[in-house]
Structure 1
Amino acid sequence: MLDIKLINKQYIAGTWRDGKSNRTLADKNPYSGEVITEFKMASTDDVDAAYQAAEAGMDEWNQINPYKQRDILENAVSYVEEHEEDITNIIIDELGGTHLKAAFEISLVKNMLKEAATFPLKKEGKILPSMEDGKENRLYRMPAGVVGVISPFNFPFFLSVKSIGPAIGAGNGVVLKAHEETPIVGGTLIAKIFEEAGVPKGLFNVVVTDISEIGDSFVEHPIPRIISFTGSTTVGRHIAQQAVKNFKKPLLELGGNSAFIVLDDADIDYAVNAAAFSRFTHQGQICMSANRIIVHQSIYDEFIAKYKKKIAALKTGDPRDPDTVIGPVVNEDAAQRLKAIIEKGIEQGATPVLKGNISGNMVEPTILTDVTSDMAVAQEEMFGPVVGVTPFETDKEAVRIANNTKFGLSGAVHTADGERGVQLAKMIHTGMIHVNDITINDEPIIAFGGEKQSGLGRLNGEWSLEEFTTMKWISINYGQRQFPY
């Protein structure tokens, strides 16, 4: 059994220790408000120690046979499988995630770790000809260096492992800064998994702290070569600036404002179900969630009526109840921000056909119709159980509405004509878009990433291997080169 009291510390250089800060972090259940546990925060000295350990652990890791490295990463999968029930309970208690959400996230983690376990055997190089006689050019695929990972609060288990697993599989040491709202699921739980899997001490480290304690030291530290961040566009912009200023590569998975387009020939009942899942899974706290539903005018009223009936029936409340679909948002600040944006949308002319109550961290579903692109609810990432619906008359207009955003992460198009959907999808400025499916998709071997202000870089499969490695040119001259002087 996983005991939270054994993993409520920093994990640095293969040891569990209190942070050196004088401050503590209370880890609270977002539904009950109960304090789950407390952490003694990490200081800048702890961040330095973690990076030093990762650099040393990386050297040891790369002396291990790649087949053994694969076995160790497969051990991590086995540990997750053996402790699924415990992990589910922690996700429910720390995140306010439902049973459905926990199962979804754990499945994603297992598949990502399985893919990462193949990386040690995929680091292929090349031998290429030379312009010079008697010379051979070799290209070696090498680990990029220590990777700093900054975890989000919404899917912290998966979105941390999404970078950590492939980075370690590619031969890199890693330091993870867990989000202060989810220090266990997005931090020390993962440390426990890799510790039990058998990675060398120091290869993987976790620091639990906040920015007021460590400032930009996590990003500016001289050791890491890559900073992988998942979170808001505002914070991502700052991290990218600090990373590039210090000659580090930023990998950014940022905000979204995904459009869910329903064409005039779509299966309305299916589209309603897909739109519900696309928006309200984990209370809408997913970067790929459908923020905007764009529906053809000819089916608009029917869609709204069926969608309202569907959403109104979703059970809101205690995430420990297996029937609950919508649990709490991450904290009361998030709930109040949602309340403000709903009120602003109504002031700007949106019609609330369903308006849920907001109490503490609990936000019941709200559907706003007659939304136009200039409204805040159409331009901002709401990140909660609130959605705006907009009518359109032509495919060209649907594309224009969908593209009227600074974001470009995901999307969906529903139509009876799959090729019509594909051609329309090509015109949407987004990194990912799905025909006759949900907006929330992530597969371990498919390129994942956003356009515009939704991020930089691509992860998963061969793209993660590319991001977390570098090519090193080593040439051999078997003869003697002739010089002009």
Structure 2
Amino acid sequence: MNIQKGNFLDSERWEGRAFFADWQRTAAGVIEVTDPATGAVIASVGVGGGADIRHAAAEARVAQKAWARMLPTERARILSKAADLLEQNGAELIPWIMRESGSIYPKAGIEIEHGALFMRHAASLATAPMGMLIPAMDNRTNYARRVPHGVVGVISPFNFPLVLSVRSIAAALAFGNAVVHKPDPRTPISGGIIIARIFEEAGLPKGVLQIVPGGADAGEAMCTDPNIAMISFTGSARGGSKVAEIAGKHFKKVQLELGGKNSLIVLDDADLDVAASNSAWGAFLHQGQICMATGLILVDEKIADALTTKLVAKASHLTAGDPSLNEVALGPIISDGQVEIIDEIVNDAVAKGAKLLVGGTHDGRFYAATVLSGVKPGMRAFEEEIFGPVACIATFSSEQEAIALTNNSDYGLAAGVISADIGRALRIAEELDVGMVHVNDQTVNGGPFAPFGGPRKSGNGTRIGGPADIEEFTTWKWISVKDAATPHPF
């Protein structure tokens, strides 16, 4: 699939530039954006360093005051128009997402659909009630209201670059914050340029949104800059830990949405065909490069062999290759280094007694859908987030064992439970120490209306989406009023 040369994402506007108050060259220079499937250069964009981030943060702080004073209905109108523009230009934008992030067409389409939903949800938040009267303690009137932090720094990853950027950007803007956004330098178009163009055309005032792709030095500059009050980070546990450490030293609020080693529990009364379908989708979608991916398939030992046979059959028919040809189910892994990590984890499992039933091979960055059975604690495949198309099957003999295997994890993002008995599945769901549980579904679920996140290495206790957006992207301000000043004893 060739990238459509439409007018909306005309590269003459942004080639070699980043988005400050307008499209400008960066002090740090230019980076080339490549297609992970072919290695072909797609475009070049401006890349930011510390000086560029400081410039963006200073501009954003100036612009934020007027944006916060704007009527909430006007902020909502701009966000709604941005959603309309994203949908209207989807046909032009989907090929960019495919080429840049290695996505198959349906996954890229989900980014357009969900991106628009997140912006519309943010528009509704802009006009939500933002205050309360506080009970009187004396003859004063007391009230509290939610106010914006000021400038919010957003750092997003490569895997769902549009959605995982927009969900923070739109919510922050809705409440009157300005935003400095650093998309992953591997996906600066899907995670940055598209979003800048959407809001530029929607009429967002200049300077309120600044988008500067960059690496770790740019991220560190965001965490230390005094003009940025909050950091919203989506990425790896290791990266999130570093962000929390640096931003915490500079007294910033930090919202972290990190990785997951998500269990799908398949009970002995499950429909095996449906369970195999759920397992394959959760493990292999977008090559497993999703924080919610089904990282561990926990199967009742009585049905494990039958389910494994069905899952192997599905994996055997999933081809990996260039998504632009529209003939494959799996695209490329994002980098050669990540391919090596996947190989190491698979080899470690086999060396420790797991069985490699299908896959475990790759042609460059195209990693075959892989199924491992007999995966147990102590293997990296059981304990680590793989971020590759590897289905890891482990067995249990009782419900309590399945619960314990799920909860005894460094992560706690998502889980699924498949059973013909809803009451039984719900009983298990209530005992799982994770942020999200999906009954009779696999683990890859998300959307704008639910609080998304999890404990331990999956995050810092914060949530994003739904009512949680108000908690994250605003803070309380208490105001007390006396009719007239009165003397005190001193």
Distance 2:36 2:17 in 1: 22
**1:207 maps to which of 186, 209, 212:** 212
Map of 1:244 onto structure 2: 248
Q: What secondary structure does 1:130 align onto?
A: coil
Q: Quick one: structure 1 residues 13 and 123, their matched pair in 2 at CA, closer, same or farther if it must change by over 3 Å?
A: farther
Map of 2:439 onto structure 1: 435
Map of 2:308 onto structure 1: 304
Map of 2:13 onto structure 1: 6
Report the CA distance between 1:484 and its aligned residue: 2.8
Map of 2:451 onto structure 1: 447
- Note if 1:483 corresponds to 2:481: no
**What is the percent sequence identity of the aligned residues?**
36
Map of 1:338 onto structure 2: 342
Map of 1:112 onto structure 2: 118
Q: Quick one: structure 1 residues 388 and 88, their matched pair in 2 at CA, closer, same or farther if it must change by over 3 Å?
A: same
Post-superposition CA distance 1:60-81 (Å, at most 9, x none)? 2123222111111111011101
Report the CA distance between 1:161 and its aligned residue: 0.5
- Note if 1:174 corresponds to 2:175: no
- Note if 1:398 corresponds to 2:399: no
Q: Residues 112-261 of structure 1: matches in 2 within 5 Å?
A: 112-133=118-139, 135-211=140-216, 213-214=217-218, 216-261=220-265
1:9·1:16 contact (CA, 8 Å) conserved in 2? no
RMSD: 1.4
1:356·1:363 contact (CA, 8 Å) conserved in 2? yes
Letter in 2 for 1:19: T
Distance 2:412 2:51 in 1: 38
Distance 1:193 1:9 in 2: 18
Letter in 1 for 2:154: V
Distance 1:241 1:264 in 2: 44
Q: Quick one: structure 1 residues 75 and 168, their matched pair in 2 at CA, closer, same or farther if it must change by over 3 Å?
A: same
Letter in 2 for 1:218: M
Distance 2:12 2:281 in 1: 35
1:315·1:326 contact (CA, 8 Å) conserved in 2? yes
Report the CA distance between 1:356 and its aligned residue: 4.0
Report the CA distance between 1:345 and its aligned residue: 1.1
Distance 1:165 1:315 in 2: 36
After TM superposition, the score normalised by the length of structure 2 is 0.96
1:329·1:361 contact (CA, 8 Å) conserved in 2? yes
Distance 1:80 1:218 in 2: 27
Aligned length: 482
Q: Residues 26-105 of structure 1: matches in 2 within 5 Å?
A: 26-105=32-111
Letter in 2 for 1:120: A
Post-superposition CA distance 1:103-162 (Å, at most 9, x none)? 1121111110110011221142112232212x1002121112210000100001000001
Between stretches 351-360 and 368-377, larger displacement belongs to: 351-360
- Note if 1:326 corresponds to 2:330: yes
Map of 1:418 onto structure 2: 422
Runs of 4+ off more than 6 Å: none
Map of 1:275 onto structure 2: 279
Q: What secondary structure does 2:264 align onto?
A: strand
Q: Structure 2 unaligned segments of length 5 or more: list them.
A: 1-5
**1:18 maps to which of 10, 22, 25:** 25
1:12·1:53 contact (CA, 8 Å) conserved in 2? no
Distance 2:379 2:206 in 1: 52
After TM superposition, the score normalised by the length of structure 1 is 0.97
